[in-house]
Amino acid sequence: MEISKASDAVGAEVTDVNLSQIGDDQFAEIRLAFHDHGALFFRDQDLSPEQHIEFAERWGDIDINRFFTPVEGYPQIAKVLKEADQEMNIGGGWHTDHSYDHVPAMGSVLYALEIPPAGGDTLFAGMQAAYAALDDEMKARLEGLNARHGNAHIFGRDSDYQKKFGGRFGNTESAVQEAVHPVVLAHPDTGVKGLYVNPGFTLAIEGMEPEESNALLAELYAHIMQPKFHFRYKWSKGALAMWDNRSTWHYALNDYQGHRRYLNRITVAGVPLH
Choose the weakest-confidence range: 57-61, 67-71, 213-217, 224-228: 67-71
The per-residue pLDDT for range 212-262, each reduced to its tens digit, is 999 999 999 999 999 999 999 999 999 999 999 999 999 999 999 999 999
Q: What is the pLDDT of residue 156?
A: 45
The answer to the question of residue 177 being in a domain is yes
**CA dist list (Å): 35 to 79, 89, 246:** 26, 29, 10
The answer to the question of residue 273 being in a domain is no
Q: Cα separation of 63 and 98, whole Å?
A: 10
Of 186, 179, 206, residue with least CA distance to 274: 186
The contacts found for 151-160 with CB under 8 angstroms, 24 or more apart, are: 151/100, 151/175, 151/177, 151/201, 152/176, 154/200, 154/201, 155/67
List, in sequence order, every residue forming a beta bridge with 243; answer none if it has no partner: 39, 108
**CA dist list (Å): 53 to 113, 166, 238, 264:** 15, 29, 15, 10
The answer to the question of residue 242 being in a domain is yes
- Parent domain of 27: 2-268
The answer to the question of residue 82 being in a domain is yes
The strand pair at 39-42 and 12-15 is best described as: parallel
Domain count, the chain: 1
- The CATH number linked to 33 is 3.60.130.10
Give the H/E segment covering residue 80.
strand 74-82
Q: What is the pLDDT of residue 70?
A: 83
Q: Cα separation of 65 and 46, whole Å?
A: 24
pLDDT of 150 strictly over 90 = no
Provide the annotated active-site residues: 95, 97, 250, 265
DSSP output for 41-70: EE-S----HHHHHHHHHTTS-B---SSSPE
The per-residue pLDDT for range 160-191, each reduced to its tens digit, is 545 444 554 544 444 457 899 999 999 999 99
Q: What is the pLDDT of residue 172?
A: 44
pTM of the model: 0.92
Of 122, 142, 99, 73, residue with least CA distance to 273: 99
The answer to the question of residue 274 being in a domain is no
pLDDT of 124 strictly over 90 = yes
The answer to the question of residue 29 being in a domain is yes
Single-letter residue type at 186? A
Of 5, 3, 11, residue with least CA distance to 230: 11
- Rg of the chain over Cα atoms, rounded to whole angstroms, equals 18
